[in-house]
Structure 1
């Protein structure tokens, strides 16, 4: 009986220690979409921590929001671990869940984190931000 009690206590202590040692804080990023010119469609956004496949990959999390007739559009990515991330988003005007292209240029509004002026397609480093706490940011939409 003493052995069973000791085993239970030891297991509980080890469980608490491992949770303290390996627990990582999870954070959220709230994005306000700026520069919406057409009040229709949906905003699709993804957040990535993969420098190699950004912005082509679907990212590690995606969110979707209807474009309202007025007011700001806000998206929220939750449950993210501390690290370096970048966001890409676009306004799906025709609900085909694809960024439509006109040749090599996007035909629908699009945007990236930390990019306020487009000088060609940005890379991960240009869009990246360090997530160490809950944060909020604006992302501007561009249309060509």
Structure 2
């Protein structure tokens, strides 16, 4: 009986140790969109930690925010693990759920984390930021 109780105690202790050693904190990144000129449509955003798929590939998470007639527009990415991430977003003015292009140039407002001016498509390294706590990030919309 003592062996049985010891076995159960060891199993319970190992269960707690494995739970604590493999548990990772999850964080929320709140994005505040700045520079909205046209108060219509929706903002579509994607966050990724994959440099190879940025900026065109699918993200780790996506979010959508309705553009309001006035006031601040924001959206959230919740449940993110610690790491390096980058965000790309665009304002869908005509509700077709895609970024319209005019040749090689975006025809609708768009933005990237950590980028305020462009000289061509930005890299993941230019846009990345560390997620190791809950964060609020401002992204300004750009238009051509």
Would the TM-score normalized by the shorter structure come out above 0.5? yes
Where 2:77 maps in the other structure, the secondary structure is strand
Superposition map of 1:14-25 within 5 A: 14-25=14-25
Mapped to 2, the partners of 1:10 and 1:46 lie a distance apart of: 44
User: What residue number does 1:32 align with?
Assistant: 32
Measured on the aligned residues, the alpha-carbon RMSD in Å equals 1.1
Segments of structure 2 that go 5 or more residues without pairing to the other structure are none
Deviations along 1:71-120, one digit per CA (max 9) or x if unpaired, are: 01111111111110000000011111110000000001000000011221
Mapped to 1, the partners of 2:97 and 2:35 lie a distance apart of: 20
User: What residue number does 1:58 align with?
Assistant: 58
How many residues align? The count is 144
Q: TM-score scaled to structure 1, two decimals? A: 0.95
Segments of structure 1 that go 5 or more residues without pairing to the other structure are none
1:6 deviation in Å?
A: 2.8
Mapped to 2, the partners of 1:10 and 1:74 lie a distance apart of: 48
